Amino acid sequence: MCWQKRFDNKIPNEDLEQRILEIRRENKDFGYRRIYGKSRNQGLIVNKKRVQRIVQKLGIQVTSFTRKSRKYSSYKGKVGKVGKVASNRIHRRFDTHIPHQKITTDTSEFKYYDIDDKGRMIIKKLYLDPFMDMCNREIVNYGVSQRPSAENIMNALNEAIKITSDCKYRRTFHSDQGGLTR
């Protein structure tokens, strides 16, 4: 009969759920970590895992800042009539003993923090387009920009072509073709 007494107990997380919902109403972009911090600042002693469980139970997780929503990919789908896909001449044979014969490139995204006019910390992104010689893994040339653009890639490519023009053999510039297709 001991278990029947539990029916009279109130729900232990009911007050906490209401406070979490109140914090979430005020701050639409707060996930469980920020809700936890705000509740601690308000003097509520609660475990972070408990806040996470309640946020999941209430179904108020933030979906706009997930890793999947922010990941950079230069792939634009099938090339179709716009351009053609270059044939793969390297076939994963990246090593060479001849300088400037095989040059590879790929665009990489880097995040950094900056302070805006109002003193708030904001996340910014930079895109790096390095051209690497596969003989000695030296960076021949690179381009940096605040947005992924074909113009930045082509400027860095044209400069890399000039720098590697001393090679006596056929040069191969290899990319994943995400941004270099034309």
Per-residue model confidence (pLDDT) at position 49: 93
Query: Is 12 a residue whose pLDDT tops 80?
Result: no
Q: What pTM does this model have?
A: 0.51
> What's the rounded mean pLDDT across residues 6-12?
68
The Cβ of residue 177 has, within 10 Å, a number of other Cβ atoms equal to 17
Give the model confidence (pLDDT) of 14-63 as tens digits. Answer: 888 889 999 988 888 888 899 999 989 988 888 999 999 999 988 888 87
Angle 171-82-101 from CA coordinates, rounded to 5°: 5
Give the model confidence (pLDDT) of 130-166 as tens digits. Answer: 999 888 889 999 999 998 888 888 999 899 999 888 8
Please report which confidence band the pLDDT of residue 101 belongs to, taking 50, 70 and 90 as the band edges.
Answer: confident
Q: 127 or 101: whose pLDDT is higher?
A: 127
Query: Is 79 a residue whose pLDDT tops 60?
Result: no
**149, 73 contact by CB (below 8 A):** no
Q: How far apart are CA 89 and CA 96, in angstroms?
A: 13
Per-residue model confidence (pLDDT) at position 180: 43
Token pair of 88 as six digits: 């793969």
